[in-house]
Structure formats: structure tokens, C-alpha cells
Structure 1
Amino acid sequence: MHLIIMRHGEAGWHTIDQQRELTEMGRRDVAAVAAQIAESEFRPKEIWCSPYARARQTAAIIAEVLNCPVDEKYFITPDDDPGQCLDTLLDLDTRTTPLMLVSHMPFVGALSTLLVDGHRRGIPFMTSQAVLLDMPVVGPGCADLKTQFLP
């Protein structure tokens, strides 16, 4: 299974957390990362995104560039348990891969670290940063970091 994990683009601070929207710079950075992913051999077949506004906007930009569907998932918000996402990935039909997740810190860091290193301490992600994980078997510590996409 190939999994692309991305942190949303830069967002403003003018409203409550769930409603924060992307800045112009955030939109540009997300579009730049989307273009890199489009040129790679790992174009996602589906995008899962957090229901927060900035993640939905990020996913919409990616989906437009890559022409793939977006599905909101309520278990990938900033403070959710990455173990629940892992359980869902275990049940996933592998024909839907590569799969892309668009979420937030600390969730993206905790999930990536769980999949690569088997613990949940979490690595930092910049806004609009994405990583590509290769998981021959879905499970803690079973993924290899193949590449990253930066704005």
C-alpha cells in the first residue's frame, strides 16, 4: 500500500480552529505540492480529509489537480488517535491505493511516526508538506518513507 500523508496549507488565525481558511500563500503552496504529486508515479486514487475548513480546502485543490474524489473523515482531526486511522487502513481494499490523507499537526506527525517507527511521538510537518509511505504490510513500524513533497 502507498499512502501520502499531507498537512494542510498555511491558514489564517482570524476565526475558531475548525473554520480557519487557507491564506493565498497556503493555496499557492498546496498547488505546488499537488503539481509535484501529479508528476510522480504515485497519484492517489482517493483523498481522505479532515472536516476542518483548511483541510477541506487543501484537499479540494489537490483533487482538482489530480482529478480524484475527496472523502471527509471525522477521525483524522488534529488531536485524534492515529490508532483509529490505522485500524481503518487495515480494513481498506488495497485497490484504493495510493491513498492520500490531508490533516493537521499533531495528527500527521503521530500517524507517520506510528507507521514508520512504531511509536506515536510524532515528527514535525511544515504546512503543505506531504510524505509518501510504502507499506508492504499495514501496521505499526511497517512503512518506509519513500519521498517527501515540499512547497
Structure 2
Amino acid sequence: MKQLFLIRHGRAFAEEPGQLDLHRTLTEEGEQQVKEVVEQLCEHHIKPDLILCSPATRAMQTASLLAVGLGVLKEKIKSNSYLYEESLGQLIEIVRAIPNHCSTVFVVAHNPTLSWFATYLNNNQAIDLSTCGVFAVQFDVDSWDAITNTEVKGRVLLD
């Protein structure tokens, strides 16, 4: 059994003139959104074995706050540049390449790709993740490279 949590980063400041989108940071509201998600995950005793994260500052901040709040070592956060401007196909390949010793994995990244992936995993029923929205699925497989939208056992949306 594999569990995948697609988590959109918390609310971020708008891009300032001359600032790269990559360097946008979380607002106080965004930090609070992450704390609320941590509370919900703690209630269900959910701890990731791995956190895959976009290198964007707002996504890294979200991943760090999740790790600290859940008591997960920051070494379990792995930045992947493909999670910044990823395509749906790239995201599926990233997930299929997760080491099989990891049973519960968070992917912290961006829309629209996270919502597209959630929609794919939800039998193509539209999902639109808001900031710090979470879409969680369980796969009845032993290997990440075996996941498909037909292997989904359960779905949960925290939005």
C-alpha cells in the first residue's frame, strides 16, 4: 500500500517588480494555512517517509513547516527542479520513481499541475487545489512504478 499526498504550497506574496517567481515567499496567512494542515495530519497520525518539493521558496517553506510540525527530519525533504515547472507527464514519472521503501510521500508543488494530477487520480473528476490544499490517495500496489488512476483505493481532499 502506498499513500501519496499532493500539497499545494501556502499563500505567497505577489511577485514584486524585478523579483523572480521562484523567490516568492509565504505570507503570514500562508504560514497559518500550513499550520492548519499540520494539525489535520497530526490528528490522523500521518508522517511522510519522504517529502518531494519544488525548489521555489514558497514550496520549500511549506515543506519545512510541514516537516517541523510533523516531527520529520528536514533531510527527508528532497528538492526536485522538475516540480517547479512540471508537466503532468513529468510529475507522474517523478512519482513512479519514488523509492519503494517509502510508503507515505508528500509532493509539495504548484498549480495547475497538482490539480491536473489530482483530477487524473480522481477518475478525471475535476479537482482544483486552493493554496495549501491537500489531495491524498492510497494505491493498492507494492511499487510506485505500478501506480495508475485505476489502482487508487481511497481519496481525500482537504481544502
- 1:90 maps to 96
Farther-moved stretch of structure 1 (35-44 vs 84-93): 84-93
17-26 vs 133-142, which moves further: 133-142
Is the partner of 2:37 in helix, strand or coil?
helix
Would you say the 8 A contact 2:122–2:155 is kept in 1? no
Partner amino acid, structure 2, of 1:147: V
Counterpart in 2 of 1:126? Answer: 130
Q: Contact 1:37–1:149 at 8 Å: present in 2 too?
A: no
2:98 partner SS: coil
Instruction: Give the stretch that moved more between structures: 25-34 or 8-17.
Output: 8-17
State the partner residue of 2:12: 11
Instruction: Work out the CA distance in 1 between the residues paired with 2:56 and 2:126.
Output: 21
Deviation at 1:140, TM superposition (A): 3.8
Contact 1:49 1:101 in 2 (8 A): yes
Contact kept in structure 1, 2:139 and 2:154, CA below 8 Å: no
Q: How many residues align?
A: 147
Larger radius of gyration between Structure 1 and Structure 2:
2
Unaligned runs of at least 5 residues, structure 2: 142-146
**Does structure 1 residue 39 correspond to structure 2 residue 48?**
no
Percent identity reads 25
Please list, as runs of the form range in 1=range in 2, the aligned pairs for 1:59-70 lying within 5 A after superposition: 59-68=63-72, 69-70=76-77
- Give runs of aligned pairs for residues 65-76 of structure 1, distance below 5 A: 65-68=69-72, 69-76=76-83
Q: Do the aligned residues in 2 keep the contact of 1:46 with 1:71 (CA within 8 Å)?
A: yes
Normalised to the residue count of structure 1, the TM-score between the two structures is 0.86
Relative to the length of structure 2, the TM-score reads 0.82
SS in 2 for 1:26: helix
Partner deviation per Cα, 1:20-50 (whole Å, 9 max, x = no partner)? 1000010011111012112214321111110
Residue identity opposite 2:79 in structure 1: E
Residue 22 (structure 1) aligned to one of 16, 22, 26: 26
Aligned residues of 1:106 and 1:122 also touching (Cα < 8 A): no
Residue in structure 2 matched with residue 102 of structure 1 by the alignment? 108
CA contact (8 A) 2:55 2:80 kept: yes
Q: CA RMSD in A?
A: 1.9
